[in-house]
Amino acid sequence: MVADANDCVSVYGSHLLHSALDAAGVAWRWAVASAVPPHRLRSNEVSALPTHVRKIVPRVAVADPDRLATAELVIGFTELRWPVVDHVRALHCPAPALALPDFIDDGEALATRPLNFAALSDAAMRHALARPGASATRSSANVSDDDFWTGLADVCARFAALLQRVND
């Protein structure tokens, strides 16, 4: 589940992550949901996005109560939306909550050996515990900057490639 502090990043990031998983051929196995419904985006927030991002019609699943209770991972790209993380915890869901751009290098380091979801989940949990309350260093990122979205798409593609290597 994508629970970014920035509404646009939650919605468009969810779309980009799902697209990356689809391109890697693993979207059928890993569902992506946004903590923010697309209709909550304000027009002034969307108009600040780069033109090529604004042209995307985000098709994202929205995290309903069932998805919140069964999330396997809660991610942010710029900063985690902590009220959502707290709500997931209140539902007794043990999903790690982490900033995906900060985790991707650690995750890719695991891919040097056979990888299963339990090992990936364990690494994500260790990463999250090692940085309690931490959020991505990108909280000051400029979402109106093309480079921000290029970097976000790269992180999504790298994460999809990592999940492609997971064998249960």
Quick check: is 2 in a domain? no
Residue type, 80: L
In contact, 141 and 155? CB cutoff 8 Å: no
What's the whole-model pTM score? Answer: 0.87
pLDDT tens-place string over residues 33-48: 999 999 999 999 999 9
**68: containing domain:** 7-164
Radius of gyration, alpha carbons of the chain: 15
Tokens matching residue 94? 């043990």
pLDDT tens-place string over residues 8-27: 999 999 999 999 999 999 88
CA distance linking residue 46 with residue 48, whole number of Å:
5
pLDDT tens-place string over residues 74-128: 999 999 999 999 999 999 998 889 889 988 888 888 877 777 777 777 888 777 7
Closest of 132, 131, 107 to residue 117, by C-alpha: 107
Q: What's the number of domains the chain is made of?
A: 1
Check residue 140 and give its pLDDT: 55
Q: What stretches of 24-139 show up as alpha helix (H) in DSSP?
A: 43-47, 51-54, 65-69, 82-90, 100-110, 117-130
Helix (H) or strand (E) holding 148: helix 146-164
Quick check: is 124 in a domain? yes
Quick check: is 141 in a domain? yes
